[in-house]
């Protein structure tokens, strides 16, 4: 049979977001309480903003294989963001495209502007090692939807972490030049690490000290293989570390681009 | 009239049209009650961009077969695994020049071990040689890695274990 006008009309997809009105339509979805919604919003925003920074690497990666790898990792994180934002019980497109920078809850590690390839590699190593530790623990969440999102995410982020770890070693234990660039990248990224393990007072969040232990072990192992050492950095204050609503100016610039089509053409389909 | 399950099982994957969604392990359940059909599918990866096309293809096939009301739902649990690809699905992948996946790592409680060396192997789907190398863990689609055969020198896709 050929598609008729009705089926073609039913194929109209949102120009932004995707056609599935509810990406969690097949899962039990009791209303999310405040703690669950806050956790899913934070994890969803981390994935969304980090995905956007990775997407900015499109056409800029050093080799075609890495171009494809970064696009794939960005796509995985975008998918995780959709599921997590949907689980908050609010409209995912509204959350992604109609909030101002002050309403985002992502960590600053996800939003800082891209640097060179070494910066990307170190940032991705830190981000994916932390996120994998988080998602691994959230597989046991008593919320069935979050547990399912986490279990799926674990498989994906394990690949992301492996990619970043191998590149960290290749660059750090490479030439004197690549080692120096990676050392500088580590120095730039490291001040953003403490915020990842700040207590947020949410009873649904995994224990930050437990996460940190796994993070330190994995990153320590990779850095040793890469002949790199953890830089000495001035620690942020506890208040700075705790606030996911405090952002750098870079987030507003990122959102201006990410939200431009949705804001210019509300409700557009293609 | 054929059953809704039989109709749904004929729908192919938008990106790998050689395989049906059932052979790929993406088609999870088809329920039929009073002419109303509910289909559950599961994405291979969280960001799978083909999910919309799968839904539209399922709706089109089932309405074309006479089912007026079709509801396609997405489920995530248990998470999709490459182990769900059926035997015929694996043969069709190989025939399409894509090396089928080996056994997926078992999900285990506790931290995921960090693996730094190359872990996957795959025989060349073109000449059959086991002497192949991985060029990139991430290929043309999220579910595929890129490899090259050291014998016939041809590059090929490998369906990743996940």
State how far the Cα of A131 lies from the Cα of A134, in Å rounded to an integer: 5
Question: Mean per-residue pLDDT for A254-268?
Answer: 90
Considering only the beta carbons, identify the residue of A23, A154, A221 that sits closest to B112.
Answer: A154
Considering only the beta carbons, identify the residue of A18, A75, A165 that sits closest to B142.
Answer: A75
Cβ of residue A151 closer than 8 Å to a chain B Cβ:
yes
Cβ of residue B133 closer than 8 Å to a chain A Cβ:
no
Contact A7 B49 (CB under 8 A): no
Contact B52 A18 (CB under 8 A): yes
Q: If pLDDT is split at 50, 70 and 90, which confidence band does A4 have?
A: very low
Structure tokens at B7: 């109709």
The pLDDT profile of chain B, 162 residues, written as one tens digit per residue, is 689 999 999 999 998 999 999 999 999 999 999 889 999 999 999 888 888 889 999 999 999 999 999 999 999 989 999 999 999 999 999 999 999 999 998 888 899 999 887 778 899 999 999 999 998 888 888 889 999 999 999 999 999 999
pLDDT of the residue at A68: 92
Structure tokens at A232: 């000495």
The boundaries of every CATH 3.30.300.130 domain in chain B are: 4-74
> How many CB atoms lie under 10 A from the CB of residue A231?
13
Contacts with A138 from chain B: Cβ below 8 Å: none
* pLDDT tens per residue, range A216-257: 999 999 999 999 999 987 666 655 666 888 899 999 999 999
In angstroms, the separation between the Cα of residue A103 and the nearest Cα of chain B is: 24
pTM for this predicted structure? 0.92
Provide the residue ranges of all domains of chain A, joining segments of one domain with +: 32-264
Q: Which of A155, A169, A216, A226 to mutate to test the interface with B (most CBs of B within 10 A)?
A: A155
> How many CB atoms lie under 10 A from the CB of residue A165?
25
| Contact (CB, 8 A) for A76 and B46 | yes
State how far the Cα of B66 lies from the Cα of B74, in Å rounded to an integer: 23
CATH superfamily of A32-264: Ferritin, core subunit, four-helix bundle (1.20.1260.10)
* Chain Cα centroid distance, residue A51: 6
Cβ of residue B31 closer than 8 Å to a chain A Cβ:
no
| Contact (CB, 8 A) for A48 and A259 | no
pLDDT of the residue at A5: 45
- CATH level 3 topology of B4-74: GMP Synthetase; Chain A, domain 3 (3.30.300)
Q: Which of A146, A152, A164, A217 to mutate to test the interface with B (most CBs of B within 10 A)?
A: A152
pLDDT of the residue at B119: 74
Contact A154 B139 (CB under 8 A): no
Q: A55 or B105: whose pLDDT is higher?
A: A55
């Amino acid at each position: 049979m050929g598609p008729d006008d009705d089926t073609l009309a039913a194929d109209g997809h949102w120009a932004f977001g995707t056609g599935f009105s509810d990406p969690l339509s097949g899962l039990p979805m009791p209303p999310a309480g405040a703690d669950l919604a806050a956790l899913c919003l934070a994890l969803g925003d981390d994935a969304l903003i980090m995905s956007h920074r990775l997407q900015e690497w499109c056409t800029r990666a050093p080799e075609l294989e890495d171009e494809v790898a970064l696009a794939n990792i960005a796509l995985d994180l975008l998918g995780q963001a959709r599921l997590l934002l949907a689980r908050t019980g609010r409209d995912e497109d509204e959350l992604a495209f109609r909030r101002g920078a002050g309403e985002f809850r992502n960590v600053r590690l996800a939003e800082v502007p891209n640097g060179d390839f070494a910066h990307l590699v170190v940032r991705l190593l830190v981000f994916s090692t932390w996120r994998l530790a988080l998602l691994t623990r959230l597989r046991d969440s008593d919320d069935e939807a979050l547990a399912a999102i986490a279990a799926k995410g674990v498989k994906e982020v394990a690949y992301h972490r492996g990619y970043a770890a191998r590149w960290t070693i290749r660059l750090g234990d490479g030439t004197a030049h690549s080692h120096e660039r990676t050392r500088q990248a580590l120095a730039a990224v490291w001040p953003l690490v403490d915020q990842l393990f700040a207590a947020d007072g949410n009873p649904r969040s995994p224990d930050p000290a437990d996460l940190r232990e796994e993070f330190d072990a994995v990153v320590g192992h990779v850095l040793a293989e890469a002949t790199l050492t953890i830089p000495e950095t001035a620690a942020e204050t506890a208040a700075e570390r705790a606030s996911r609503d405090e952002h750098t100016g870079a987030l507003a610039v990122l959102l201006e681009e990410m939200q431009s089509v949705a804001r210019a053409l509300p409700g557009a389909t293609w | 009239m054929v059953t809704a399950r039989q109709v749904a099982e004929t729908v192919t994957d938008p990106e790998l049209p050689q395989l049906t969604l059932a052979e790929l392990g993406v088609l999870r359940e088809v329920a039929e009650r009073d002419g109303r059909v509910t289909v559950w599918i599961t994405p291979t990866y969280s960001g799978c961009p083909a999910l919309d096309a799968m839904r539209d293809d399922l709706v089109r096939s089932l309405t074309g077969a006479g089912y007026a009301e079709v509801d396609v739902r997405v489920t995530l649990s248990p998470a999709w695994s490459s182990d769900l690809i059926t035997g015929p699905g694996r043969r069709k992948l190989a025939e399409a020049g894509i090396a089928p996946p080996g056994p997926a790592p078992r999900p285990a409680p506790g931290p995921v071990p960090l693996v730094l060396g190359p872990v996957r192997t795959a025989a060349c789907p073109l000449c059959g040689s086991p002497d192949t190398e991985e060029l990139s863990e991430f290929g043309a689609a999220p579910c595929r890695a890129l490899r090259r055969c050291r014998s016939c020198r041809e590059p090929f896709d490998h369906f990743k274990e996940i």
